[in-house]
Structure 1
């Protein structure tokens, strides 16, 4: 039986009863360190500063693991928490648009486009409501790049024959281009590269530095391709519907602000990671635009596949994709004309 409300929300007992402090429990599968944790804490601090609200964050999968997050939040194990879309490709298909191999490599642009789509699409909101979920805010793993040992990817043709660790549509595209795909987690890629089980590993710049993979890489190719962005904060709808309006507003405003904070943090971390790689002697390669376009074209199969899957789940996949592309252009334009929010005076 679904637990309707885990939040300790009480009515005051005085005449003209008013809401007392709202206490919420947030489940996060990841540890309390790194850019995502800092952005999540920013969400908590911002929401608490703008409403009579306290959010208790349970880190490190204390309440549920990442692959159980959707059902756990829906059932009320936590009031709200982080959901990673790739674990739930059917149920979270609308959110999965942020994982597609489009030309969408800027973390801030991708997050703000995803955030606006999730808030603006009635169809996606209805799909989430059917799962007893409400969207609050989004993160990103940032741009997908690839690092190699004793190999270098300067063109699409260089991928053929390499032993590659890759995931999602990006990994599938590497396989289509002739790579020999190796099933391995990003956390094991250091050993894989070091021992020769891998030639190359798909990853993200800040993660390379965090996992010290620059020690076993000789080249790192900036693909300017796309990102994995379908991970964010969702809330149990029964709990959300029972909240005072000012608390709802505080949570949603904090969710929007979280994308700006995450963009600032992960952009800085990625830039620092590139310098760390250079200092370690790793060759930094910027993929030629024509080669990048070839990657995007080969990945189109998986964009089309997403459209079909979205249609099968009752969404208008083509319309959502068109809207998302327009939002990416909107936020690219804002970035180019005004700069990032954290750079504006």
Structure 2
């Protein structure tokens, strides 16, 4: 276990967690990616907010760039205590994160805040999920999202579902599988390789997220960007070693729960802001070269959802294979999506109220 407790009022290391006046608790956190972008921005906020709520007693020491473990080893690394906590991408862990990967399906729709709040409620309030994680020595802390999935193209644009067939596309999770089922030729590349692949003609299009257009300079090589109004990659979040979590005081655990719960609103605000700026620049020709912004019709989005049904069945089979009640989880998640959709329609985003 790597949870370090360093004395503030003396040279000796504290053996107990102690009071805020006597010791500080440092949680070592592993993140597979670099220290820039939407998730790192949120992690820095999490560290600051956790410190604020604990009166400076609790600190988050973030190790970037896979220094403690690479992204595909995160579950084992956290569970084994290589780090006290860390970022987990559900797509790498289909069995271990069977419940969490539900958030990678388009059930929540494309509203990032709705998706984050619904996912957080699912993960935080399901005893079955808590127990499944406990078996891996993990505790859920809070959730991120890669954002709603859209598609950028060079040359021929995607303005309808019919335009997908025949395109060479880099996909993202189930969204790529649906494009494959609709006639696209899928090319297995990471999002970091998409720029060069489009530039050289290896692919025609890449699925991705609006904030990536400026972050990875896609505007230099793509001609169009289509808002699919479909779904998001939501199985991406913060988990903690259960032994470490259990060793904390009740007050410290309460700080983690509150900060983790607040993270959904904060991260939505961060990502929606990044996306809005990117889309505004496309709409107003704010980049060095024009990128046509297209929005898929409601009918086409419905067709994409229909094409997702076989993959929802695959998810159910996988969830049931680890002892989870798939239908109950879907019902819980769907109800949470409806709850937060209604709240958004009535009140807007929390940070705008």
TM-score class, shorter = over 0.9
Please point out which of 294, 298, 301 is paired with 1:285: 294
- After the TM superposition, which parts of structure 1 deviate over 6 Å for at least 4 consecutive aligned residues? none
Q: CA RMSD in A?
A: 1.8
Deviations 1:95-138, CA, capped at 9 Å, x for gaps: 10110133511111101100011010000000000000000000
CA-CA distance at 1:12 after TM superposition: 6.2
SS of aligned partner of 2:107: coil
Please point out which of 204, 229, 235 is paired with 1:224: 229
Question: Any conservation in 1 of the 2:104–2:232 contact (CA below 8 Å)?
Answer: yes
The corresponding residue for 1:172 is 177
TM-score with structure 1 setting the length: 0.95
Q: What are the within-5 Å matches in structure 2 for residues 107-186 of structure 1?
A: 107-186=112-191
Pick closer, same or farther for the CA change 1:159–1:13 going to 2, 3 Å: closer
* Higher RCO (Cα < 8 Å, 6 or more apart): 1
Pick closer, same or farther for the CA change 1:187–1:203 going to 2, 3 Å: same
Answer yes or no: is 1:30 the counterpart of 2:27.
no
The corresponding residue for 1:320 is 329
- Whole-angstrom CA distance in 2 between matches of 1:102 and 1:151: 29
How many corresponding residue pairs? 340
The corresponding residue for 2:349 is 340
Please point out which of 42, 47, 51 is paired with 1:48: 51
The corresponding residue for 1:8 is 5
Question: Any conservation in 2 of the 1:149–1:216 contact (CA below 8 Å)?
Answer: yes
Question: Any conservation in 2 of the 1:7–1:239 contact (CA below 8 Å)?
Answer: no
Please point out which of 207, 213, 218 is paired with 2:212: 207
Q: Bigger shift: 98-107 or 128-137?
A: 98-107
Gaps of 5+ in 1: none
- Whole-angstrom CA distance in 2 between matches of 1:31 and 1:257: 23
Deviations 1:66-104, CA, capped at 9 Å, x for gaps: 111110010111111111111111110011011013351
Gaps of 5+ in 2: 7-13
